[in-house]
């Protein structure tokens, strides 16, 4: 199937590893030129090396997207390197672990900037060039936790819920400019963060990391397993494609059946 993405340009935050890297690689396979960003320069360098096997133009930019000045610099770099972008994947983020009664304002503000304001600021900065290029796609990587919260990470739950609502509002604003905005809400995706947690929690429970992950999957997802980042990336790529042209302002759950309510 031709997804009609050849020679498009995508910017992916958190693109050096995990879900972000999987999305970058899946887009590269479709002929999409890439600008990937992350905080760790060494990880970015390794990611670019891995992606260099594809016949696309690949740029990287070290940035902390919780910082407004880094986002401004990133947007300028995108303009200088590619004349703007056609696709923005707001992917960067991470889980939290706290109680509302104990979490500091500083922690709330940090994750608000990481999960919500970064997406707002980058979208705002790149919308003009998208309009000039005749349209585009913005995909915000939220979480099943936006709808079905996990008790130990209220900040993550709250900020991801806000990201979903922002996606809906922005979608209505910019569809007139042929810019489609959607949110994707993954469930259990086997990332490095999950694997690291499995080692730690498995030791506490006296089981292997693999058994810990299997138990989590069987307890939560009817499909009975984690998804790979690559499986999730396939869905991102489809939503980037003109073949998904009627997908606007929606939240899509890629969760193996974990969500317990209808949407």
| Active-site residue, from 54, 111, 156, 253 | 156
Q: What percent of the chain has pLDDT over 90?
A: 98
Q: 1 falls in which pLDDT band (50, 70, 90)?
A: confident
pLDDT digits (tens, 9 = 90+) for 223-259: 999 999 999 999 999 999 999 999 999 999 999 999 9
Tokens of 52: 């260099």
pLDDT in the model for residue 71: 98
Is 156 annotated as catalytic? yes
What does the mean pLDDT of the chain come to? Answer: 97
Domain that holds residue 219: 191-226
Please give the pLDDT value at position 261: 86
Is 59 inside a domain boundary? yes
- For residue 200, being part of any structural domain is answered with yes
Task: Give the pLDDT of residue 262.
Answer: 79
Q: 114 in a domain, yes or no?
A: yes
Tally of structural domains, the chain: 2
Cα distances (angstroms) measured from residue 109 to each of 7, 106, 115, 263: 37, 5, 10, 29
Instruction: Express each pLDDT in 60-83 by its tens digit.
Output: 999 999 999 999 999 999 999 999
- Are 18 and 77 within one domain? yes
168 has pLDDT over 90? yes
Q: Are 106 and 35 found together in one domain?
A: yes
How many C-beta atoms surround the C-beta of residue 46 within 10 A?
14
**How many alpha carbons lie under 13 Å from residue 133 in its C-beta half-sphere?**
20
**CA pair distance 91, 18, nearest whole angstrom:** 10
Are residues 84 and 174 located together in one domain of the fold?
A: yes
Do residues 36 and 10 touch, judged by C-beta distance below 8 A? no
Q: What is the mean pLDDT of residues 13-36?
A: 98
Report if residue 74 sits inside a domain: yes
Same domain? 221 vs 171:
no
pLDDT above 90 for 52: yes
Residue 263: the pLDDT is 61
Give the model confidence (pLDDT) of 118-129 as tens digits.
Answer: 999 999 999 999
pLDDT at 152: 94
| Average of per-residue pLDDT across 45-68 | 98
| Judgement on whether residues 85 and 65 belong to the same structural domain of the protein | yes
Task: Note whether residue 259 is domain-resident.
Answer: no
């Amino acid at each position: 199937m031709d997804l009609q993405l050849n020679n498009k340009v995508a910017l992916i935050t958190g693109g050096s590893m995990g879900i972000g890297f999987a999305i970058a690689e899946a887009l590269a396979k479709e002929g999409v030129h890439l600008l990937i960003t992350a905080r760790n320069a060494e990880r970015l360098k390794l990611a670019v090396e891995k992606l260099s096997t594809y016949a696309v133009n690949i740029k990287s930019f070290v940035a902390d997207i919780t910082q407004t000045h880094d986002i401004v610099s990133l947007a300028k770099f995108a303009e200088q390197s590619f004349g703007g972008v056609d696709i923005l994947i707001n992917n960067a983020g991470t889980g939290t672990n706290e109680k509302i009664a104990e979490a500091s304002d500083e922690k709330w503000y940090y994750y608000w900037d990481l999960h919500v304001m970064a997406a707002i600021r980058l979208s705002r900065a790149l919308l003009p060039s998208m309009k000039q290029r005749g349209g585009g796609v913005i995909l915000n990587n939220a979480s099943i936790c936006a709808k079905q919260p996990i008790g130990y990470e209220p900040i993550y739950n709250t900020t991801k819920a806000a990201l979903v609502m922002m996606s809906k509002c922005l979608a209505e604003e910019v569809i007139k400019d042929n810019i489609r905005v959607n949110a994707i809400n993954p469930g259990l995706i086997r990332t490095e963060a999950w694997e690291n947690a499995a080692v730690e929690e498995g030791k506490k429970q006296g089981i292997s990391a693999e058994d810990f992950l299997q138990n989590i999957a069987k307890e939560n997802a009817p499909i009975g397993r984690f998804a790979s980042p690559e499986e999730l990336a396939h869905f991102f790529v489809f939503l980037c494609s003109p073949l998904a042209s009627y997908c606007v302002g929606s939240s899509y759950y890629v969760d193996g059946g974990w969500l317990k309510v209808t949407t």
